[in-house]
A and B are shown apart, each in its own frame.
Chain A
Amino acid sequence: MLRRIRISLLIFLLLLAGCGRSNQDDEEVDAEGAPFRVAIVMPSSTTDIAWSQSMFDSLTAVQAEMGGEDALKIAYSEGMFRVTDASAAIRDYAAEGYDLVIAHGAQYGNSVFEVATDFTDTSFAWGTSSDTGADRGINNVFAYGAVANEGGYVNGVVAAMLSENDVIGVIGPVAGDAKLYIDGFVRGVTVVKPDAQVNISYTGSFSDTTLAAEAAHVHIQAGADVLTGSAQQVVGAIGVANENGVAWLGTQSDQISLGPDVVVTNQIYNWANVIADMIAKIEAGELGGTAYRLTFENDGLRLEFNESIEIDDAVKEAARAAIEDIKSGAVDPVLIEEDDE
């Protein structure tokens, strides 16, 4: 019997060590001068140098701007790739009285609307989406998304100018998800070099870094001298690009640290304005109803060059011109072609 208990205890401890949720604030907050409390549920980790990190970095930037933890408390649950887990976390945060609960993934939509109808005094946000539920009488949900094809287009222009072989490799996660970015990218390449070859491969996963790394090898062997890709899986691919001295164009977060000599540009998602605006609206009593879009025009998208490597001025100039064209509407960064999906 004693053995049974010991074993159960051990397994329990092992399981406990594996799970767990990170909370920056465990203490209860008192009512007066209470900070704004925001909770976020993310599919991957806060350090994925991609989708989740872009939001987390923006949150901490807003926190710093507002005056630290006394003004804005952030709680987060990461690695919530299972929607049922995420759904439970969203409900927990709502029940704990957070002012804003962010569900950072398109797959969380149903959960958000379900919880939002039960907690009408709590504000929710989710993305990628433009659906705030307003047409169904829900008015405490914000939606957000990035117009990723804008930066994709600019990265495509840069890729075409950098490529000497006129072969460019793209490493996507799951067909469909990175479609906006990749469509924009292909469009950007073909505008500059209509005959350049853009080879696209998907790993079928957001997090298979091993396969993404091998995909980078394959693209390089197939002649590609510029690579891009999206989702947290790309860390392995950037490592391979770095090892082979092949240019890498990043998206979602700043990826320079992984390839200081090869990462040329990064399209960075800057959610800070969106978060600040949501907080302002919530404090003014408006709990939802707005759908935000990150664009170059509203500073939600930024294209940053790696300042520590030498980049031809003509490339930088072309990128700047492309951004201006997108802002002015002179260019539509969407692939206008028959689509196979």
Chain B
Amino acid sequence: MIDELFTISTLIGILHSCVRLATPYLFASLGETFGQRSGVLNLGVDGIMLMGAFFGFYVVFEGHNLWVGVLAAIAIGVMMGLLKAFVSVTMQSLQGISGIGLYLFGLGLSSLLFKTLIGSVEGVSGFRQLPIPLLADIPGIGHILFNHNALVYLAYLMVPASWFVINRTTLGLKIRAVGHNPEAADTLGVSVNGVRYTTLMIGGALAAVAGASLSIGLQNVFQENMTNGLGFIAVALVYFGSWRTVGVLGGALLFSLVNALQLWVQALDIPVPSEVAVMMPYIMTIVVLAFTARQIQRPAALARSYERGE
């Protein structure tokens, strides 16, 4: 039994699952990275994901194109980001509490809209597997990396894109400055609130696409609270990745790898109690967190609202 786990086809299967499972985490965590790098902690990710999942699904359910669904998700994500920015940046409420409020708001509103507009759990035809020509034919690697749906590829493309924006653009410089020392950034003429509004809108958009990647990409259904707390894990992954995009990628992949592994361990009837298998990803997360508790890149102004002194 246990040797079945180490066959080539099983290993390919595990890695293929891992790559796919990481998709929603990547979108949501990268989005959260933008916010946190500018100094705003958004615990409302899960609520934004639910809104994105719902609107993406609803638009497709109504017969529109899948990409229109993604755009709808982005639009609602931006609005949720704006709401968070208004509460946390303009009104300067405590970031943690207002994030939880936003989560509950998204959870409640997406459920309400689902009940009113759709009413029962229905399926749609979501993004299909899109093997990339030539690359998908590479033995092993091809199936693992290049045989997924479009949103999976998009999630991975967001990693270098986010890295580039944060590290190589003027906006990125402003984001980092505002996150580390808002007073200094303000003195230099950077609009602290403007930057934070921007990052929260980007974060909202990405979180909403993370939700849509579930409802019209990986599962093709909408169900109330279908994220099941995934957004909170996404927030944790940002800490896990020390606020770096590559770190976030590593964290998302590791978490997904262990999750994929435990599903395979169970499916192959390897004698590990299912309770232990289910715990594996979380144990792994804690272990890695314990050993990588460096907080070098932690934005100094994280979770602090900024008010210009007189």
Interface residues of A (CB under 8 A from B): 3, 6-7, 10-11, 14-15, 17-20, 45, 47-49, 79, 169, 172, 175, 197, 199-205, 207-211, 213-215, 217-219, 221-222, 232, 235-236, 238-240, 242-243, 257-260
Instruction: Report yes or no: B101 in contact with A14, Cβ–Cβ below 8 A.
Output: yes
**Which of B87, B97, B228 has a CB less than 8 Å from the CB of A209?**
B228
Interfacial chain A residues near B220, Cβ < 8 Å:
239, 242-243
* Segment 101-115 of B: residues with Cβ below 8 Å from A: 101-109, 111, 114-115
Interfacial chain A residues near B219, Cβ < 8 Å:
209-210, 213, 235-236, 239-240
Instruction: Report yes or no: B108 in contact with A20, Cβ–Cβ below 8 A.
Output: yes
Interfacial chain A residues near B268, Cβ < 8 Å:
199, 222
Instruction: Report yes or no: A14 in contact with B275, Cβ–Cβ below 8 A.
Output: no
Known interface pairs A6-B91, A47-B120; A211-B263 also in contact (CB < 8 Å): yes
CA distance A221 to B17 in the complex (A): 10
Q: Given A172-B274, A209-B228, 17 more contacts at CB 8 Å?
A: A10-B87, A18-B104, A45-B223, A47-B119, A48-B121, A49-B121, A199-B267, A200-B269, A210-B24, A215-B266, A218-B13, A218-B260, A218-B267, A221-B16, A239-B219, A242-B123, A243-B128
Interfacial chain A residues near B230, Cβ < 8 Å:
210
In the complex, what's the smallest C-beta–C-beta distance from B80 to chain A, in angstroms?
11
B98 at the interface (CB under 8 A from A): yes
Known interface pairs A17-B105, A214-B21, A236-B219; A175-B274 also in contact (CB < 8 Å): yes
B224 at the interface (CB under 8 A from A): yes
**Which of A10, A211, A222, A242 has a CB less than 8 Å from the CB of B13?**
A222
Instruction: Report yes or no: B266 in contact with A14, Cβ–Cβ below 8 A.
Output: no
Interfacial chain B residues near A205, Cβ < 8 Å:
228
Q: Which residue of B lies closest to A45 (CB)?
A: B224
Interfacial chain A residues near B10, Cβ < 8 Å:
222
B58 at the interface (CB under 8 A from A): no
CA distance A175 to B266 in the complex (A): 12
B285 at the interface (CB under 8 A from A): no
Q: Which residue of B lies closest to A199 (CB)?
A: B267
* Segment 268-310 of B: residues with Cβ below 8 Å from A: 268-269, 273-275, 277-279
Instruction: Report yes or no: A14 in contact with B105, Cβ–Cβ below 8 A.
Output: yes
Instruction: Report yes or no: A207 in contact with B228, Cβ–Cβ below 8 A.
Output: yes
A-B contact count (CB 8 A): 172
In the complex, what's the smallest C-beta–C-beta distance from B285 to chain A, in angstroms?
14
In the complex, what's the smallest C-beta–C-beta distance from B300 to chain A, in angstroms?
24
Q: Which residue of B lies closest to A11 (CB)?
A: B101
Interfacial chain A residues near B111, Cβ < 8 Å:
45, 79
B137 at the interface (CB under 8 A from A): no
* Segment 216-247 of B: residues with Cβ below 8 Å from A: 218-221, 223-228, 230
Interfacial chain B residues near A175, Cβ < 8 Å:
273-275
In the complex, what's the smallest C-beta–C-beta distance from A68 to chain B, in angstroms?
19
Instruction: Report yes or no: B218 in contact with A236, Cβ–Cβ below 8 A.
Output: yes
Size category of the B interface is 35 or more
Interface residues of B (CB under 8 A from A): 10, 13, 16-17, 20-21, 24, 47, 87, 91-93, 97-98, 101-109, 111, 114-115, 119-123, 126, 128, 214, 218-221, 223-228, 230, 259-260, 263-264, 266-269, 273-275, 277-279
Interfacial chain A residues near B121, Cβ < 8 Å:
47-49, 235, 257-258
Interfacial chain B residues near A18, Cβ < 8 Å:
47, 101, 103-109
CA distance A20 to B266 in the complex (A): 38
CA distance A247 to B87 in the complex (A): 48
**Which of B104, B218, B226, B259 has a CB less than 8 Å from the CB of A15?**
B104
Instruction: Report yes or no: B93 in contact with A79, Cβ–Cβ below 8 A.
Output: no
Known interface pairs A17-B109, A175-B275, A217-B17; A7-B91 also in contact (CB < 8 Å): yes
Interfacial chain A residues near B24, Cβ < 8 Å:
210
In the complex, what's the smallest C-beta–C-beta distance from B254 to chain A, in angstroms?
16
CA distance A218 to B268 in the complex (A): 9
Interfacial chain A residues near B109, Cβ < 8 Å:
17-18
In the complex, what's the smallest C-beta–C-beta distance from B129 to chain A, in angstroms?
8
CA distance A243 to B126 in the complex (A): 9
Instruction: Report yes or no: B20 in contact with A214, Cβ–Cβ below 8 A.
Output: yes
Interfacial chain B residues near A239, Cβ < 8 Å:
123, 126, 218-221
CA distance A208 to B24 in the complex (A): 13
Interfacial chain A residues near B108, Cβ < 8 Å:
17-20
In the complex, what's the smallest C-beta–C-beta distance from B220 to chain A, in angstroms?
4
Instruction: Report yes or no: B278 in contact with A218, Cβ–Cβ below 8 A.
Output: no
In the complex, what's the smallest C-beta–C-beta distance from B126 to chain A, in angstroms?
8
Interfacial chain A residues near B126, Cβ < 8 Å:
239, 243
Leading 10 A-B pairs by shortest Cβ distance: A18-B104, A204-B278, A14-B101, A201-B266, A236-B219, A18-B108, A239-B220, A202-B274, A7-B93, A221-B13
Known interface pairs A204-B278, A218-B263; A210-B91 also in contact (CB < 8 Å): no
CA distance A201 to B220 in the complex (A): 21
27 contacts across the A-B interface (CB closer than 8 A):
A3-B92, A7-B87, A7-B91, A10-B91, A17-B104, A17-B108, A18-B109, A19-B108, A48-B121, A48-B223, A79-B111, A79-B224, A169-B267, A197-B269, A202-B278, A210-B24, A211-B263, A214-B21, A214-B263, A215-B263, A218-B13, A218-B260, A219-B267, A232-B223, A236-B226, A239-B123, A243-B126
Report which residue of A3, A48, A236 has the largest number of chain B beta carbons within 10 angstroms of its beta carbon: A236
Instruction: Report yes or no: B101 in contact with A201, Cβ–Cβ below 8 A.
Output: no
Instruction: Report yes or no: A209 in contact with B93, Cβ–Cβ below 8 A.
Output: no
Interfacial chain B residues near A210, Cβ < 8 Å:
21, 24, 214, 218-219, 226-228, 230
In the complex, what's the smallest C-beta–C-beta distance from B213 to chain A, in angstroms?
10
In the complex, what's the smallest C-beta–C-beta distance from A308 to chain B, in angstroms?
14
Instruction: Report yes or no: A47 in contact with B105, Cβ–Cβ below 8 A.
Output: no
CA distance A242 to B101 in the complex (A): 36
